[in-house]
A and B are shown apart, each in its own frame.
Chain A
């Protein structure tokens, strides 16, 4: 059904589409990393009309076809389930899956990008779908994928002091990190210092994370 979409991609991007297959009814196109942005733009604005980016997923294939070396799931706090120093990782290690859907056509297609562990970078698609913003921050947080050109690439679930990327397969399963102090933020009612609610700004004009707007002209 969605085979037509993959054929459309193949016709328009002969170089960029490396291969394609169907997995249990889902059409998958493996594409080149460098052209993921223009393919996404084509899928959204072209006749495919893929307005909806459902989600971006990432798979760490480090232990996909290997035995667990050292440690294991419950061994200790520090020993990783897979010791990268002892054994080179399987390449390409990471797979990104862009799952896009067309509300009009009622069809979906998945773009797959494969990344090697020594170069975990991919262009951002936030300029195509705005929802990609948080998905890419999530993948940066959990897997350490570097999305080139992302406007605000920082952790979204974990706190800033957190070390490492917890969903990577070489993250030690039982590793614990120390408790952290409270984040500082300006006191909205009395507090001195910069920021909304600070010196001289009345409470009626304060909006958290927003510019000060006169309530009488705000609509």
Chain B
């Protein structure tokens, strides 16, 4: 920031941090060094695209409620008229993970159920975010016993933890706004498809093609 450039954001948050899911993701996430005017200009354009995408994604969260326990009542409350999560751009619960980009883990996750949660998470398209709704999903809560997973982050990466047993709807709204801030400041790219090795070696690519393929 000292030289007037916009900060380059590390591709974090969206990248699952668990090495079990994506081995080696942490090492590649290094900050690139800017050398030329063209790269500088590209980076400026990227940051604008990233901001616009972040704004769009943060304010149109389609959620998948993975409701397993009593927190579901509070989830219903937060979705209904008085608290109305739709005011903050999280309007639609989608009851298929393929159409959702926010996974809300509402309730206790036990060991027998954890493969189901993992499968639901893997069925969601990128980019995706996860909210642990209530203490059971955050840390196991008072189910400190043989059957309960001590926090859903032992199974999948979690972005926002909303404590409470169950949490007040205001807490959930607060958690959603924190998540929206996080999404807004993340690095978003137009094209995040992993390229094949042949495409990586292809030197003859247009400026726009290179831009999109960052």
Q: Which residue of A lies closest to B115 (CB)?
A: A182
Q: Report yes or no: B144 in contact with A159, Cβ–Cβ below 8 A.
A: no
Whether A179 and B114, one on each chain, are in contact in the complex, defined by CB atoms closer than 8 angstroms, is yes
Q: Is the CB of B147 within 8 A of A180?
A: no
Judge whether A135 is part of the interface by a CB distance below 8 angstroms. no
What is the number of contacts between chain A and chain B, taking CB atoms within 8 Å? 32
B155 proximal to A (CB < 8 A): yes
Closest-CB distance, A169 to chain B (whole angstroms): 13
Which positions 92-139 of chain B face chain A at CB distance < 8 Å? 111-112, 114-116, 118-119
In the bound complex, do residue A158 and residue B115 qualify as a contact, i.e. CB atoms below 8 Å apart?
no
Interface of A is mostly: loop
Flag B174-194 by CB within 8 Å of A: 1 or 0 each: 000000000000000000000
When C-beta atoms are compared, the residue in chain B nearest to A166 turns out to be B146
Bound form: Cα–Cα A24–B155 in Å = 48
Question: What chain A residues lie within 8 Å of B118 (beta carbons)?
Answer: 182
User: Do A159 and B146 have beta carbons less than 8 Å apart?
Assistant: no
Contact B146 A179 (CB under 8 A): no
Contact of B111 among A171, A177, A182 (CB under 8 A): A177
Q: What are 22 pairs between A and B in contact, CB < 8 Å?
A: A157-B147, A158-B112, A158-B147, A159-B111, A162-B111, A166-B146, A166-B147, A171-B146, A175-B146, A176-B150, A177-B111, A177-B146, A179-B111, A179-B114, A179-B115, A180-B111, A180-B112, A180-B115, A181-B115, A182-B115, A182-B116, A182-B118
Tell me, yes or no, whether A174 is within 8 Å of chain B by CB: yes
B83 to chain A, nearest CB (A): 34
B162 on interface, CB distance cutoff 8 Å: no
B154 touching A179 by the CB < 8 A rule?
yes
B149 is an interface residue with CB less than 8 A from chain A: yes
Give complex CA distance A174, B150 in Å.
Answer: 11
**Closest Cβ–Cβ distance, residue A20 to chain B (whole Å):** 36
- The residues of B that contact A179 with a CB separation of less than 8 Å are 111, 114-115, 149, 154-155
Could you say which residues of chain A place their CB within 8 Å of the CB of B116? 182
> In the complex, which residues of chain A have a beta carbon less than 8 angstroms from the beta carbon of B144?
174
**Interchain nearest-CB distance for B148 vs A (Å):** 9
Residue in B119, B146, B149, B150 whose CB lies within 8 Å of A182: B119
A170-204 near B? 1/0 per residue, CB < 8 Å: 01001111011111000000000000000000000
- Which interface residue of B116, B147, B150 has the most chain A CB atoms within 10 A? B147
Cβ–Cβ < 8 Å partners of B149 in chain A: 179
Docked CA distance A177–B111 (Å): 9
Q: How far is the CA of A183 from the CA of B112 in the complex (A)?
A: 10
Looking at the assembled complex, report how far the CB atom of B109 sits from the nearest CB atom of chain A, in whole angstroms.
10
By a CB distance below 8 angstroms, the chain A residues around B146 are 166, 171, 175-177
B113 to chain A, nearest CB (A): 10
Considering the chains assembled together, what is the distance between the CA atoms of A157 and B144 in angstroms? 17
Closest CB in chain B relative to A165 CB, distance in Å: 10
